[in-house]
Amino acid sequence: MPPPARASSDSLPNTPAANLHSSSPECVAVRRFSFYSPRFLRLLSVQATFSFGWSLYLVAPKFYSVELNATAHTLGLISAAGGFGAVVMIPVVARGIDSVGRKPFLVAGMVLLGLSSLGYVAVDDVGPLVFLVHAGTGAAFILTSNATTSLVTDVCPPRRLAHAFGVLGAANMAMNAVASWLAEHLADAGGWTSVFVLGAIAGSIGLAQAVTTPDSMVQNALVQGASHRPRLAHPNALLWRRITIPLVSTTAVGAAFVAVFSFHQPFAIELGATHVRPFFTGFAVSALIARIAFGNIGDRLGRHAVSCFFIAIYAVSAALMSFMRIEWLLGYGALFGLAHGILYPTLNALVVERVPPFARGRAITLYNGAFYVGAAAGGLAWGEVGEAFGFPAVLAGASLVSLLGGLLLLWRRR
């Protein structure tokens, strides 16, 4: 009798062997998934707490420019440090998220957010410490976001992943608006130290939530899945061949994102703006509405097509901002928020759907890692571009890079 055939990389994600037993508690929970379930609401709460603390640093480029007198070149280096901090965490998280579990990374992310916030209190010039603490916030984001997003895949059916990722991200977007608005007000009223202390408090609250996250939310699906894994003919080919192009496009998106978020602030200040919060308000409100009202558009119309379309909107948004008028900051933020609000969870779901269930945590880590690789490389490149040619060139370059990423994704559908 010939030996049983091994699962191929092309058919594996759709084979029954790649899934948990239909009678297992985890599979039953997935079939009964609801956005109002205690499990999912708990995840939203944890995500919101972390996002509040992390989003306080969305206006950090203003702190660097105004308080530390950072040039465009220096701002690029600091921005890149956040990306590099995230990149360092990628192999650690990718190796353990599907074997060790989600909870250790969730706890570590909250701890790192709190420590980085306390480190910011001591920052008084552009020295090694500012690079270290900014790298810490990037690493904290990778740890926490991969943990929470992977937990979503444990409780959500595949056909609803893009919507579920969008709703989870909506908690993040809501905090983008609240925290950035509050941070600028606190900095004006009591100085930047009050902002950083608030970040440390948020990290402490998040740590308490992470520690009390039930292990059943983290481990059950992993333990059950481990005993039913199919034998892979070429596991590396499975994980890489089908997701390489989406990851490259994600890298381009990350580079464009850091250009818009980090460099519109000194550009607006250069044009005479005293506050940059209108952009973040427009961004967060638009992204929040997009994810709640239209978060399932990728699940309904196809994740590949929707991703390509909204990368194009990304490019248009950055191009418009290269001709910035400060009275339009709210509108710029709203358009960019619409693009990012739909694109990020949809592209994430596109990557996840191309790997087997037991590798979803790793795929999410690689996706977020690709975004931060783009952010790190982009931070370095955009700083040089801004120093040599000015901030409009940075935003125009971001538009071109995102457009190229979209064309690549459109060209290679599979």
- What's the half-sphere exposure (Cβ side, CA atoms, 13 Å) at 347? 31
Segment 107-163, tens digit of pLDDT? 999 999 999 999 999 998 888 999 999 999 999 998 998 888 888 877 777 777 778
36-411: CATH topology is: Growth Hormone; Chain: A; (1.20.1250)
pLDDT of residue 196: 95
DSSP 236-286: HHHHHHTTHHHHHHHHHHHHHHHHHHHHHHHHHHHTT-S--HHHHHHHHHH
C-alpha pair distances (Å), 71 with each of 46, 100, 184, 296, 409: 36, 42, 20, 41, 35
pLDDT of residue 21: 41
Which amino acid, one-letter code, is at 385?
Answer: V
Q: Report the share of the chain in percent with pLDDT over 70.
A: 85
**What is d(CA 320, CA 325) in angstroms, rounded to the nearest whole number?**
10
- In degrees and rounded to multiples of 5, residue 385 shows phi and psi of -65, -45
Query: What residues does each domain of the chain span?
Result: 36-411
DSSP 232: B
Segment 255-308, tens digit of pLDDT? 999 899 888 888 998 898 888 888 988 988 898 888 888 877 888 888 899 999
Q: Do 68 and 125 touch, CB atoms closer than 8 A?
A: yes
Segment 1-43, tens digit of pLDDT? 444 443 333 333 433 333 444 444 444 445 566 777 788 888 8
Segment 207-242, tens digit of pLDDT? 999 988 765 444 444 444 444 444 444 455 555 677
Q: Residue 192: is its pLDDT beyond 90? A: yes
The torsion region of residue 69 among left (phi > 0), alpha (psi -120 to 50) and beta comes to left
pLDDT of residue 226: 46
Reading the block at residue 325, the tokens are: 């008028």
CA dihedral 69, 74, 75, 77 (to 10 degrees): -150
**What is d(CA 105, CA 107) in angstroms, rounded to the nearest whole number?**
5
